[in-house]
Structure 1
Amino acid sequence: MNSSHANKMTILNKEIIQQTFYKLLPQHAFRNPVMACVWVGTVLTVVATLMGSTSLGFGLLLTLILLVTVLFANYAEAVAEAKGRGQAASLRQARENLMANKLTDLDSSQTPELISANLLKKEDLVLIKAGEIIPADGEIVRGFATINESAVTGESAPVLREANTDRSGVIAGTKVLTDQIVVRVSNEAGHSFLDKMIALVEGANRQKTPNEIALGILLNIMTITFIVVVVTLPFIGSMVGIKISVVLLVALLVCLIPTTIGGLLPAIGIAGMNRALKANVLAKSGKAVEVAGDIDVLLLDKTGTITYGDRQATAFYPLTGIGMSELRQAAMMTSFADPTPEGKSVVSLAREMGETVQEPEQAAFIQFSAATRLSGVDLADGHQIRKGALDAILGFTEQDIRNNIELKTRVEQVASKGATPLVVAANHTILGVIELSDVIKQGIKERFALLREMGIKTIMVTGDNPLTAAAIAAEAGVDDYIAEARPEDKLACIRNEQAEGKLVAMVGDGTNDAPALAQADIGLAMNSGTQAAKEAGNMVDLDSDPTKLLDVVEIGKQQLITRGALTTFSLANDVSKYFVILPALFAVAVPQLEVLNILHLGSPKSAVISALIFNALIIPMLIPLALRGVKFKPASALQLLRRNMLIYGVGGVVFPFIAIKLIDLVVAVWI
């Protein structure tokens, strides 16, 4: 194993070195204007040296330093890209040589046709049995199965996927462990999530973010400004009798322009995408990762995000005049058509208590939906039985809660404990209440407190009644909540916050979440969710963990902080280099400039060489920081700015003085 790992590392290092030199080609070098100036300066220095503009040894030494500067910048980008290619290679293994058992229709009893997965089209039906690899992204339309998603998510624990639920989505390259399922293909070959991930990690589809574009424009403007200044210097110098060689002008330009951040900017962008993928979050663009760092409002579902999400029926409370067995039997019959975990737990609890009711024949079942917020059954004898939220059942029975004090009291008692009350009714008679219990996730309150410190508002969205919602919101520590929420309520909340100029993020997994996911600035869809949700969101969590939204915010913050910190450090470096280069160029002709030579460097030549060596070495020194990211600590924007200026601003001015002086002590001995 150690030998295999060593071989992989050797191959990886060779690829990085090859890419470092390959990026010297003009078609690649000129994609980065700042480093393109260094590249052109290297060529000019060679030409000027060969034409006798400066001594051969000095000119070649400067040429070598400039070339190394470009190579270090290329190396930073190559290392970031290599990490992506390594991830892509492992992802490709999950989809190689996949075959599919294609069905002609859902009810077909004929033998499936075995074809290559690459020939599958959207809406095709595929039969997948235990032990087989899922050949394409899609949704389960029949059956259920446990699936190993480790090829994509890295998580070895199997997960359950089932038709007609919000956990019906499957992804190509994952393996069915038990039972068999029929999947409707949702993506053409070449457009699956694996394909998108591979393209993203290889950088093929990585688009620059708005902040990255803005910073790039700033760097380009600075570079053009300094080019104009440097080009005009010979004319100004000739007026006062100063002759400046082309080699020194190139050295001055390279030290003036922001080469450090210019060389690291591509690596920072690629590393941000890699950090998101390392967290098993598939971002459809780099913009999505970065926008997460600017989020003002988080919209979170209660179930699965704030609580563990496995609400279970824990008690039945019949109203006066209703027998316990009658309530349990009615609750069971309404739950036969309820595929949710809560519905299944009602059946399970009733059976544990001794009920043996079987699924009624010739009955019309009403499945639970987020819109109606109830489920039920219409029996052959005309009886209608329903189970659902209080307001939905009151609407069904055409009753007023003010006329049923016992029901109101029981619902409030259940809700005050943070549990969810479900009401059961038969025809126009309310039978009783079912208690569904859930547990707040450990540490979630502390995480919300950290978000509050960053100025991010948290809003809990739940279908529970206001009493339950208030109890859980208080226990979890969220800033606000929306009770008895319908899909349109989520959408309205997002639009209201956005109308106030705020950026909003939310998480969802069902088809009914799709409008809100599409409207939100950051829509994090669960990989286990429906295809509609995944298409609507601009991020997909491969682990299907709703709390990942909190991690996404931290990744986005870290991306912004890293770029800001390194930009501050780079620009602060330039201040120090000015005090080194300018006296070296002009102190002989203009003695008054000697006052700027605060470091008392050995000679003008050693000063130039020392500054350029520092300029080159600082890029590889910062590569680990650019790839790893500046450590994120929750704080307000003002606190982050102060910390940034103190560490990377002041440090960026002081450190070059010390480093250049030390380099000069060595260089002066050899010149």
Structure 2
Amino acid sequence: MAQAANALSEQTSGSDISMLEKVKPHSELAAAILCGILIAAGWLLGKGDYGAVSVTLFILAYVIGGFAKAKEGIEDTIANKELNVEMLMILAAVGSAIIGYWTEGAILIFIFAMSGALETYTMNKSHKEISSLMELQPEEALLIKNGMEEKVHVSALSIGDMILVKPGERVPSDGRIARGHTTIDEAAITGEAVPVAKNIGEEVFAGTVNLTGSMTVEITKPNSDTLFQKIIELVQSAQSQKSPSQQFIERFEGAYVKIVLAVVFLMMFIPHYLLGWSWTETFYRAMILLVVASPCALVASIMPATLSAISNGARHGILFKGGVHLENLSNLKAIAFDKTGTLTKGKPEVTDILVLPGLSVEEVMLKAASIESHSNHPLAGAVVKYVKQTLNVEILSPESIEDVPGWGVRAHFPNESWKIGKAGFIDVEKAEVFAEGAALKLAGEGKTIVFIEKNGEIAALIALKDVVRSETKKAINLLKAQGIHTVMLTGDSSKTAKAIAAESHVDQYVAECLPETKVEQVKQLQREFGTIAMVGDGINDAPALAAANVGIAMGEGTDIALETADVVLMKNDLPRIAEAISLSRKMNSIIKQNIIFSILVIMILISSNFLQFLDLPFGVIGHEGSTILVILNSLRLLRS
């Protein structure tokens, strides 16, 4: 009952917050529109003999239109003990009213309120990816207990529980298929549009869609620790963190506001005595300066762009843990890659089979797989998998089998003696001349050679290799085109590393790396190139990921790699790294455009005011219009 009550409380709380987020931009927009209507009515009545009513309507427009921004400005000023741009706008509007410019002050409030409503709308737009993600997670699951089915809230599920997921339903929590087989749409997690076939023992993730068959899933993680929840937490965390540029702008804002207020104070007196302006004109120009010198557009130059880029990345399976990492990506000069599981698939595969003339390939491979099926070695598993997939035959049972640790396996079938293993386990001299020395050539290609002996004679050799991912070459070439130096770090021998490096197209490789060696290499690359990234997926990569300026983890990697990294590729899709760098560069370019544009507008408006060309309404339009344009320019990143 307590769990159910907590779940209901969480649901209600989340629902209330979601409702407030949906209502807020509409309430701000409604207040701005009502403010505009009151201003129009006040202006029309002011043309007649209804001065008092007109002023009353303007005061209402001030209160309704300016309440949200005034409240925000006062709260921030109290919290940070510093004045901000909201306070500048309110002071300018009040100052305009004091000297009798009710209409101009009200227009300032109206446009400021309208730009605030649009800013809230655009901020919510950039948060849309999180909202849509959260809506994908089911709230209930069909629990199977004592043969009975019971609907429960997902928060009530525990590790080991069995749940039923029917066709067309979303998977409620991470787990492993205990019964059934189906096809899963994992687009919400990996971004991959093609459905994935799933069988007994394979993992399924919360938020994915069961397309074809019913399946019973054993829960392997609590709801709070699912991959789906981690994605949401990562993006939420990234959106709450501020980049160095944003932090600088916010520090700059406090000092800038003080300078503006000091200059405005001087502007109230100096032009009257030095330039002969009237007191009304002097105060009026001071109020315009207060408006046009406000850094609203400058302050809005960075955060919307950063949030838009983070949301864009999340939609395409690239998770940034903060704006600082997104910003750093554009400065990368070199990237170091772990080999196994990153550049390669991480699992050996059979690449070549050479059989003694006169023997059947099918027979030799069937006997080899029958023997290797009794071993847990990764190479043995690769041989068994190859035979099952290509020959489609039943594995045999040897009469006897003997494992010789570090060398290979002996086995007996009726009237046949077989051995599988290293050259030294068979006969080194025979192995070297078998198939005209093919073993040496294959080993030079970075492949592992396994020999098969039948009744004292070498019958065949099998070459296996940790195969380079199909997309690796494309990913490396894209990075090279961006001017980035690529390095492979691996614990393999120099011969294997050289072959994989050549196939992967990386610029440089370092072989026989221990975890601590990878950290040393990362530091060496930093000394040589400056800002560098490390890409990895395993526990042994975590120290190097932490040492790099930007750590990038593969989504199928270990939990520690995901936690240590700054960027996560939800699908093991290496070309996404080049996309992330392009996104970072475009974001920084848009931020520069915004900053230059906003500074130019401020300078032009201030100059026009001093030359007495600019009236308050046009100053308001120029100032607030530039803010809106800056935000809209940032939103382009959502679609790039």
Q: TM-score of the superposition, structure 1-length normalised?
A: 0.68
Q: Deviations over 1:271-304 (max 9, x none)?
A: 1221111212233333333333333332335577
SS of 2:574 mapped into structure 1? coil
1:622 aligns with 2:591: no
Instruction: Please list every run of 5 or more consecutive structure 1 residues that lacks an aligned counterpart in the other structure.
Output: 1-10, 104-108, 367-371, 388-392, 585-603, 633-671
SS of 1:358 mapped into structure 2? coil
CA contact (8 A) 1:491 1:515 kept: yes
CA contact (8 A) 2:468 2:503 kept: no
Shift in alpha-carbon separation, 1:448–1:153, aligned structure 2, 3 A: closer
1:71 aligns with 2:106: no
| 1:228 corresponding residue in structure 2 | 262
SS of 2:463 mapped into structure 1? strand
Question: Amino acid of the residue matched to residue 470 of structure 1?
Answer: K
| 1:24 corresponding residue in structure 2 | 69
Q: Alignment partner for residue 250 of structure 2, among 208, 216, 220? A: 216
Q: Alignment partner for residue 432 of structure 1, among 457, 461, 467? A: 461
CA contact (8 A) 2:144 2:150 kept: yes
Output aligned runs, 1:265-276, within 5 Å. Answer: 265-276=302-313
Shift in alpha-carbon separation, 1:623–1:468, aligned structure 2, 3 A: same
Shift in alpha-carbon separation, 1:291–1:31, aligned structure 2, 3 A: farther
RMSD between aligned residues: 5.2
CA distance in 1, matches of 2:481, 2:390: 47
Q: CA deviation at 1:118?
A: 0.4
Q: Alignment partner for residue 137 of structure 2, among 95, 98, 122? A: 95
CA distance in 2, matches of 1:361, 1:110: 43
Q: Alignment partner for residue 332 of structure 2, among 287, 295, 302? A: 295
Output aligned runs, 1:178-327, within 5 Å. Answer: 183=218, 185-186=220-221, 188-190=222-224, 192-195=226-229, 197-198=231-232, 206-237=240-271, 240=274, 243=279, 245-301=282-338, 312-317=349-354
Q: Deviations over 1:576-597 (max 9, x none)?
A: 333312222xxxxxxxxxxxxx
Moved more, 407-416 or 613-622: 407-416
CA distance in 1, matches of 2:130, 2:408: 48
1:497 aligns with 2:525: yes
Shift in alpha-carbon separation, 1:530–1:101, aligned structure 2, 3 A: farther
CA distance in 1, matches of 2:521, 2:557: 22
Moved more, 176-185 or 209-218: 176-185
Q: Alignment partner for residue 611 of structure 2, among 574, 579, 583? A: 583
| 1:550 corresponding residue in structure 2 | 578
Question: Amino acid of the residue matched to residue 266 of structure 1?
Answer: M
Q: Alignment partner for residue 94 of structure 2, among 47, 55, 60? A: 47
CA distance in 1, matches of 2:141, 2:333: 46
Question: Amino acid of the residue matched to residue 568 of structure 2?
Answer: V
Q: CA deviation at 1:211?
A: 2.8
Moved more, 246-255 or 201-210: 201-210
Q: Alignment partner for residue 566 of structure 2, among 525, 529, 538? A: 538
Q: Deviations over 1:523-561 (max 9, x none)?
A: 443444444443343333333423322222222222222
| 2:509 corresponding residue in structure 1 | 481
Moved more, 324-333 or 267-276: 324-333
Q: Deviations over 1:450-488 (max 9, x none)?
A: 534544221235676544543453454321124466666
Output aligned runs, 1:408-423, within 5 Å. Answer: 410-414=438-442, 420-423=447-450
SS of 2:207 mapped into structure 1? coil
CA distance in 2, matches of 1:139, 1:351: 23
Output aligned runs, 1:593-608, within 5 Å. Answer: 604-606=613-615
Instruction: Please list every run of 5 or more consecutive structure 2 residues that lacks an aligned counterpart in the other structure.
Output: 1-19, 32-66
| 2:155 corresponding residue in structure 1 | 118
Shift in alpha-carbon separation, 1:506–1:437, aligned structure 2, 3 A: closer
CA contact (8 A) 2:443 2:449 kept: no
Shift in alpha-carbon separation, 1:384–1:228, aligned structure 2, 3 A: farther
Q: Alignment partner for residue 571 of structure 1, among 580, 599, 604? A: 599
SS of 1:629 mapped into structure 2? helix
CA distance in 1, matches of 2:397, 2:300: 68
Shift in alpha-carbon separation, 1:283–1:450, aligned structure 2, 3 A: closer
CA contact (8 A) 1:335 1:347 kept: no
Q: TM-score of the superposition, structure 2-length normalised?
A: 0.70
